[in-house]
Amino acid sequence: MAKRLAALIFIFACTTVAWIILGSTIMARTYDVRSGDLFSRVETNWGTSQQQFPPRATWTKTKKRTEDDQDKQGRHFKRVVEYTDDGKLAIAGSAINVALDLEHRQKGLLWYRTYVVDFAADYRFPNDTNEEQQIVFEFFFPAKATIYDKLVFEVNGQKVPTSTQERNVIGGSVTGKATLAAGETAVLHVSYQSHGLDTWHYNFAPGEGVAQVHDFKLHMTTNFKDIDFAENTLSPTTKRETPNGWALDWDYTNLVTGYSLGMVMPEHLQPGPLAGQISFFAPVSLFFFFFLMFIITTLRGIDLHPMNYFFLAAAFFAFHLLLAYLVDHISIHLAFAASSLVSIFLVISYLRLVVGIRFAAVEAGLAQFVYLVLFSYAFFFKGFTGLGVTIGSIVTLFVVMQLTGRVDWTAKFAKAAKPEPARA
């Protein structure tokens, strides 16, 4: 019996090392690709994370004034001097609509959080000077490495000639000019459709610092349910669940803050990291399976040789090996189902020859389904994996304790260790 237990421990240890190597290989394949040029290719082909800033309205006017001056002989005279008078109009109100349409894209063993954003906003700029001004309206793009389709730039409902500017504010800007009478309020309307990656932000002011905004309204809709707000950002004042996602509102009358607004796109189930985690966890599944098989065969007097356990461990390893390379070509769910069926088929078809079809299909098949398939599938439920495995382990311990509470283990082990009589 001692030699048999030592052989089982050796088989378990060797299989564990194989799983560690497999898991490390999967992680290397996954993250070496991400750290290379694949992530950059996604940014180049689709776009980067976006940070939208509010526009600004400025005016510059050349004026003349008369100044007293004195020549070298001490004679006084008057001269006309030109100077530049400039200023900035404050935003009196903002009404913004943002629609985020998440469209995950896969490269290698990773899914990337790509999205389409439809942005439309109306900004009110009152001319609080006492004279007519030619105002330059400048709208800042949220990212440089992306596209802007369906761009609209209007002042008081009229399209104005625009030009793009290269500035040190994320993605440059577009400008347009309009003339405002004294006391007149201009409404700048800007809208576009663009592509982004990972996160979308709305910052009240370029750079870090505290900003003050008046009559601010931002309405956001998403096509995903799993919403998450970036760190150091404001939560919505109201939110409502819709059939496809959420409707979120940020509504402020007079806000002073150093925070911004930010939405983090939800992660897609990552096939590479998930397959790696399942491989690293595999020794736990095999331990419970070996433990249960050892208990059942000992109670029933079934003689399973260590070589039988070796082939069972190989069938378990086949599940993870097949899963690791199927996820490159098909969805993680189909790969998991196919790998499970193959591994269970290997175990049942093998044990039916060793012990019998009933033991292979019922005891062994059910144990493998629980400890290999269900324990591994618990990784699909983020945040509940540990709890699911813990509950399964406790239930297993309870069932085994109840079934073996009256067993005389000394007699069982003595009977198992007793050599068989020589055959004629």
Distance (Å, rounded) from C-alpha 236 to C-alpha 119? 18
Number of other CB atoms surrounding residue 118 within 10 Å: 16
Token output for 116 = 């389409």
Output the pLDDT for position 313: 93
The amino acid occupying position 369 is F
pLDDT of residue 336: 93
Residue 145 corresponds to which amino acid? A
Task: Give the domains, in start order, of the chain with CATH numbers.
Answer: 2-36+269-417 (no CATH), 48-264 (2.60.40)
Q: How far is CA 268 from CA 111, 112, 176, 308, 348, in A?
A: 6, 8, 41, 40, 34
Q: Is this structure's pTM higher than 0.75?
A: no
199 and 265 Cβ atoms separated by less than 8 Å:
yes
> Do the beta carbons of residue 192 and residue 152 sit within 8 Å?
yes
Question: Residues 6 or more apart from 120 whose CB is under 8 A from it?
Answer: 96, 97, 189, 190, 191
Dihedrals φ, ψ of 152, to 5°? -125, 130
**Strand-by-strand arrangement of the 246-257 sheet:** 158-159, 148-155, 185-197, 114-126, 93-102, 211-222, 246-257, 238-241
Q: Dihedral sign for Cα 15, 16, 19, 25, please.
A: negative
Instruction: Report d(CA 128, CA 135) in Å as an integer.
Output: 12
394: phi then psi, degrees, rounded to nearest 5: -65, -40
Amino acid type, 377: Y
How is the beta sheet containing 133-140 ordered, strand by strand? 76-89, 56-70, 133-140, 173-180, 162-165
Question: Contact at 8 Å (CB) between 316 and 278?
Answer: no
Count CA atoms within 13 Å of residue 396 on its CB side. Answer: 23
Distance CA 399, CA 299 (A): 14
* Predicted confidence pLDDT, tens digits, the chain (424 residues): 678 788 888 999 999 999 999 988 888 877 765 445 666 667 667 778 889 999 988 888 766 667 677 777 777 767 666 656 678 888 999 999 999 999 888 776 778 889 999 999 999 999 988 888 888 899 999 888 788 899 999 999 888 877 776 654 556 788 888 888 888 899 999 999 999 888 999 998 766 678 889 999 999 999 999 888 888 889 999 999 999 999 999 999 998 988 899 999 998 888 888 888 899 999 999 999 998 888 888 888 888 888 999 999 999 999 999 998 888 788 888 999 999 999 999 999 999 999 989 999 998 999 999 999 999 998 888 778 888 888 888 988 888 888 787 877 777 666 655 555 544 4
Residue 83: exposure state from Cβ atoms within 10 A (0-12, 13-18, ≥19): exposed
Amino acid making up residue 191: S
φ/ψ of residue 148, rounded to 5: -130, 105
Q: Which residues of 121-138 are buried (b: 16+ CB within 10 A; e: fewer)?
A: bbbbbbbeeeeebebebb
Beta pairing, strands 162-165 & 173-180: antiparallel
Please check whether residue 17 is in contact with residue 97, taking contact to mean a CB–CB distance below 8 angstroms: no
Angle subtended by helix axes 2-33 and 271-300, to nearest 10: 170
Q: Specify the pLDDT at position 170.
A: 57
How many other β-carbons are positioned within 10 Å of the β-carbon of residue 245?
19
